Chains A and B, each alone.
Chain A
């Protein structure tokens, strides 16, 4: 065992190496733009240089003169696509602003033309030579810009159902012994996954194949079909590997259907590789948010009143919002709670899911406020959390299925050396550097969605698992293989896994950290169907008893006791009894509380996720605690975070290696979000300015010298058969507040606006 492959504790799988490790490190994994196509044409996007107005005319003369140009498609001559519904209102699209429908421009960087040429270089050169005349209208960029409109989220966005409330907040706050009111801001951020927003596609007769990094192949397939007005069965989306997603590829972007339509018109396969800066405007992003938190507490630290008001920016047509009050109003015991979320409409592209969409901004506000309250109470911030820890959420009184928040705090505090902290701000230093320690809670809802799977077992133990899950770098191949291996008792190296293809049995979107729970639960169920068939063949008169399990050589729960040796002998007997060479089973699994139309929806690319607070008589979350050491240079005010320590509990850990990797990446991203990442908006033009990797800062290795991930044992039998809580989005939630809390400790300065930069420090 190594740091990267931690020793499994109770209720953890083995830290087996990644299924796709070798293809990845040897560069043999193929991504969308690597897919070989016969005689492809190359597309290059032309995007608008204004955020609001109209295209008056195009001057294409210069562009058309570039050798190799095949076609330049604009709203004047382009294929007309059908309108789409927004994902969060039951559709497939991340935005309803669809390209080339008219001369109107609704945001910066909207696709206004597509150049098709014989080479990428020719397409790019011609695109640069397209001259556009616009009639520009002054746009509204963001909060406080003239012309924005604000309205409550409730009633606009069908996924935001309620502003949680309980008790009498106003009175309790008024009467509280200790009060805090504070406002917090979070910036615009972009996912910037390594793989660009590429699309390769080819028509074979009436059938369309799309190679595209997608976190939801069924959604994309159905969305493209709807937009093109063709039968969804004629569309296939393939992406065996996705070069990062972080939510940006969860819903359909405007590029895909138009590229497919052009390919059909030209009768040629097309490859599109948009640029990094185009990725800022042709996909989604994390919108900027504002918060006001009011906390009332008794002198001994018990919360008596909590109010969280949030405002989020969205586009003119689409009421996207994340509404994280569903989490922040339920995190701590508090009898009087109030909340309100509103949406501010500006002339922007529509925002969308980005790693822990609701929790990142909303917990930054709450966990910063908790730290401020601890200071007011003169109390250790860990103790304040302990005093307000709860087994039941305060809004509906439902019990948490399991909650290891304080255990995480205690483990992480110990590993971090929290007891070495001298509580006074500005009391710790090392040479030129002021030192600060800070901490915060982190949490993420446990979500599941209906999923199908097909498993095929051969007499020699070779196993093939098919499921339209997604390998976005998280380890999907690995844990699906592990699950099948453990469940069927076949050696891991005999399991082949196929994901990332809409011809495979449907799985949910790889979003909301539901994939592990959903896909592994489905795979387990289908493996059980196979076992049952084998067992019935061998012992037609018995039920599935322990003896039978032994006979077939298959261990059931706990999966840690999975067969270690190759039980091919038993398998052979079972196959002989069955009189078959191969057993293949297909099955559809859905979580408890899933709506009745779940399976139907699953096949048509609609996800019915359940979990978090939306379960009927319980609430399910994964928890963690994060500790950060920051150093602030006395002279330059540069801020560094040399140590990040997080302890996490998330039910069954399928593979400590891949889990650690997700959590480590989360901690690093969280630090990045606190100190580096922000998309700068030109207020006059509503355009993104730092839309490249030199100016949109993410950490480099030198910024993260110390990251420690601690996995806690936790068993939760109330969530899903896999017993797993999603953890992909768990670790980047608390870090924002932990960093700011540490900066307060280092400098005595409370910073409530992200990201914190050296100019915000005044020591």
Chain B
């Protein structure tokens, strides 16, 4: 960890100001000289590991009063960026109307971490690639652009099979983002010129040739809220992992279905643990829509979801695991009592 300036935000305007002032010349955001601090469970870790080296930190927790709401009235859900993972997971309306959200949060990290961590920080968490997190490795395009990728032919069991490039195969590790992307969430962003909204699906960027650029947020911009239209009681989040709790996904599936008279009207399929960004499997959704559910259909949808997957030495198993998990999640969603 290096010495840094610590500032507490007094209001959103001040936070944005402080972040933009220090970070003007610093792109991409992930390397920015000024970083917002929420729960700190990613940021402080990476600072101790010397992977992130911000010169200034703007603590946005004082904004919690305006930014941590959980609004579930009517047909719209609005979640403040500073809401804690644990509060959202435990919220009765979320459990009832959005089980995929509640479970994606409940199955993440540990109780202690969920009490600390915020939704905004959660979607912005960085990859767990061991070569990224250990600065003694010289080859990591995400950390040092152009330096190569140690994981490509190294230990890559946890790495991605979808959305990879020849520059980076790091997995996007979070769970909650899959629920957001599946439910077509909107992300509300507060910046210098006020507040703007965009589809959550546009937040993360696949590595391509610039794995160091992970999101479309600009320095000085903050996530202030997420919102979702409609309710999704028929939704599930399944997560496969080596141990029963407290582990990132080897593969996960966020599924939401709208079934009427036995016909799938709308289907949402998102994948975690297998892709470089929160991953929406639109091919699978297309197959499901307008059809009656059966196990064969679930299987075809799962195959479609992984049609473009590319495995490497230790992670090829994720392709077949991911398919089985998607098929199982579809079965569960289709038979849910709602």
Q: Please determine whether B153 and A697 come into contact, CB atoms closer than 8 angstroms.
A: no
Q: Please determine whether B128 and A695 come into contact, CB atoms closer than 8 angstroms.
A: yes
Closest A residue to B157 by beta carbon equals A680
Q: Please determine whether B131 and A636 come into contact, CB atoms closer than 8 angstroms.
A: no
Closest B residue to A704 by beta carbon equals B244
* Residue A637 is within 8 A (CB to CB) of chain B in the complex: yes
Q: Please determine whether A700 and B134 come into contact, CB atoms closer than 8 angstroms.
A: no
Interface residues of B in 114-139 (CB under 8 A from A): 128, 130-131, 133-138
CB distance from B54 to the nearest CB of A (A): 14
A121-129, A305-313, A457-465, A742-750: which lies at the interface: A121-129
Question: Which of A47, A128, A757 sits near B242, CB closer than 8 Å?
Answer: A757
* Residue A25 is within 8 A (CB to CB) of chain B in the complex: no
CB distance from A292 to the nearest CB of B (A): 25
Main SS of chain B's interface residues? loop
* Residue B324 is within 8 A (CB to CB) of chain A in the complex: yes
* Residue A694 is within 8 A (CB to CB) of chain B in the complex: yes
Give Cα A277 to B49, complex, Å.
11
**Chain A hits for B155, CB < 8 A:** 680-682, 689-690
Give Cα A49 to B150, complex, Å.
13
Closest A residue to B139 by beta carbon equals A685
Interface residues of A in 699-725 (CB under 8 A from B): 699-703
**Chain B hits for A692, CB < 8 A:** 133
* Residue A675 is within 8 A (CB to CB) of chain B in the complex: yes
Question: Which of B130, B242, B327 sits near A697, CB closer than 8 Å?
Answer: B242
Interface residues of A in 412-439 (CB under 8 A from B): 432
CB distance from A138 to the nearest CB of B (A): 14
**Chain A hits for B243, CB < 8 A:** 676, 697, 699-700, 702-703
**Chain A hits for B324, CB < 8 A:** 635-637
Question: Which of B137, B242, B245, B321 sits near A49, CB closer than 8 Å?
Answer: B137
Known: A121-B1, A128-B50. A636 touches B240 (CB 8 A): yes
* Residue B317 is within 8 A (CB to CB) of chain A in the complex: yes
Interface residues of B in 141-160 (CB under 8 A from A): 150, 153-155, 157-158
* Residue A597 is within 8 A (CB to CB) of chain B in the complex: no
Closest B residue to A760 by beta carbon equals B317
B interface residues, how many (CB within 8 angstroms):
39
* Residue B335 is within 8 A (CB to CB) of chain A in the complex: no
* Residue B258 is within 8 A (CB to CB) of chain A in the complex: no
Closest A residue to B328 by beta carbon equals A635
Known: A636-B325, A758-B317. A690 touches B245 (CB 8 A): no
Q: Please determine whether B131 and A128 come into contact, CB atoms closer than 8 angstroms.
A: no
Give Cα A359 to B19, complex, Å.
57
CB distance from B20 to the nearest CB of A (A): 26
Q: Please determine whether A684 and B153 come into contact, CB atoms closer than 8 angstroms.
A: yes
* Residue A617 is within 8 A (CB to CB) of chain B in the complex: no
**Chain A hits for B244, CB < 8 A:** 640, 700, 702-703
**Chain A hits for B325, CB < 8 A:** 635-636
CB distance from B34 to the nearest CB of A (A): 19
Give Cα A732 to B182, complex, Å.
44
Interface residues of A in 607-658 (CB under 8 A from B): 633, 635-638, 640
* Residue A546 is within 8 A (CB to CB) of chain B in the complex: no
Known: A636-B321, A697-B247, A758-B321. A682 touches B154 (CB 8 A): yes
* Residue A206 is within 8 A (CB to CB) of chain B in the complex: no
* Residue B254 is within 8 A (CB to CB) of chain A in the complex: no
Q: Please determine whether B131 and A758 come into contact, CB atoms closer than 8 angstroms.
A: no
Give Cα A323 to B1, complex, Å.
43
* Residue B246 is within 8 A (CB to CB) of chain A in the complex: yes
Give Cα A684 to B154, complex, Å.
7
Question: Which of A67, A121, A689, A703 sits near B154, CB closer than 8 Å?
Answer: A689
Q: Please determine whether A689 and B131 come into contact, CB atoms closer than 8 angstroms.
A: yes
Known: A128-B2, A635-B324. A676 touches B242 (CB 8 A): yes
Give Cα A757 to B315, complex, Å.
12
CB distance from A737 to the nearest CB of B (A): 20
Closest A residue to B250 by beta carbon equals A758
Residue from the set A277, A635, A681, A700 with the largest chain B CB neighbour count within 10 Å: A635
* Residue B241 is within 8 A (CB to CB) of chain A in the complex: yes
**Chain A hits for B247, CB < 8 A:** 697
**Chain B hits for A144, CB < 8 A:** none
**Chain A hits for B321, CB < 8 A:** 636-637, 758-759
A interface residues, how many (CB within 8 angstroms):
38
Digitize B1-44: 1 where CB-to-A-CB distance is under 8 Å, 0 elsewhere. 11100000000000000000000000000000000000000000
**Chain A hits for B241, CB < 8 A:** 638
CB distance from A716 to the nearest CB of B (A): 38
Give Cα A400 to B250, complex, Å.
48
Q: Please determine whether B327 and A689 come into contact, CB atoms closer than 8 angstroms.
A: no
Closest B residue to A639 by beta carbon equals B242
Give Cα A640 to B245, complex, Å.
11
**Chain A hits for B238, CB < 8 A:** 636
CB distance from B269 to the nearest CB of A (A): 16
Closest B residue to A694 by beta carbon equals B128
**Chain B hits for A691, CB < 8 A:** 134
Q: Please determine whether A700 and B154 come into contact, CB atoms closer than 8 angstroms.
A: no
**Chain B hits for A758, CB < 8 A:** 240, 242, 250, 317, 321
Give Cα A682 to B138, complex, Å.
14
**Chain A hits for B157, CB < 8 A:** 680
Closest B residue to A675 by beta carbon equals B242
Closest B residue to A109 by beta carbon equals B136
Give Cα A680 to B154, complex, Å.
10
Q: Please determine whether B1 and A49 come into contact, CB atoms closer than 8 angstroms.
A: no
Give Cα A638 to B3, complex, Å.
43
Give Cα A121 to B47, complex, Å.
12
Known: A694-B128, A697-B243, A702-B243. A636 touches B328 (CB 8 A): yes
Give Cα A700 to B242, complex, Å.
11
Give Cα A432 to B332, complex, Å.
12
**Chain A hits for B134, CB < 8 A:** 277, 691
CB distance from B336 to the nearest CB of A (A): 15
**Chain B hits for A277, CB < 8 A:** 134
Give Cα A758 to B157, complex, Å.
12
Digitize A669-694: 1 where CB-to-B-CB distance is under 8 Å, 0 elsewhere. 00000011000111111000111101
Q: Please determine whether B317 and A759 come into contact, CB atoms closer than 8 angstroms.
A: yes
CB distance from A260 to the nearest CB of B (A): 26
Q: Please determine whether B245 and A703 come into contact, CB atoms closer than 8 angstroms.
A: yes
Interface residues of A in 373-418 (CB under 8 A from B): none
CB distance from B313 to the nearest CB of A (A): 9
**Chain A hits for B130, CB < 8 A:** 689-690, 695
Known: A638-B241, A690-B130. A124 touches B1 (CB 8 A): yes
Closest A residue to B238 by beta carbon equals A636
CB distance from B241 to the nearest CB of A (A): 7
Q: Please determine whether A49 and B136 come into contact, CB atoms closer than 8 angstroms.
A: yes
CB distance from B113 to the nearest CB of A (A): 11
CB distance from A69 to the nearest CB of B (A): 13
**Chain A hits for B154, CB < 8 A:** 682-685, 689
**Chain B hits for A636, CB < 8 A:** 238, 240, 251, 321, 324-325, 328
B residues with CB within 8 A of A: 1-3, 48, 50, 110, 128, 130-131, 133-138, 150, 153-155, 157-158, 238, 240-248, 250-251, 317, 321, 324-325, 327-328
Residue pairs across A and B with Cβ atoms less than 8 A apart, 30 shown, are A47-B136, A49-B136, A49-B137, A124-B1, A125-B1, A128-B50, A277-B134, A432-B328, A636-B238, A636-B240, A636-B321, A637-B321, A638-B242, A676-B243, A680-B155, A682-B154, A685-B154, A690-B130, A691-B134, A697-B243, A699-B243, A700-B110, A700-B245, A700-B246, A702-B243, A702-B246, A703-B245, A757-B242, A758-B250, A758-B321
A residues with CB within 8 A of B: 47, 49, 67, 121, 124-125, 128, 277, 432, 633, 635-638, 640, 675-676, 680-685, 689-692, 694-695, 697, 699-703, 757-759
Besides A636-B325, A690-B130, A700-B243, 14 more A-B contacts (Cβ < 8 Å) are A47-B136, A49-B137, A125-B1, A432-B328, A637-B321, A680-B155, A691-B134, A697-B242, A697-B243, A700-B244, A701-B245, A703-B245, A757-B242, A758-B242
In order of increasing CB-CB distance, the 5 nearest A-B pairs are A759-B317, A702-B244, A49-B136, A702-B245, A636-B240
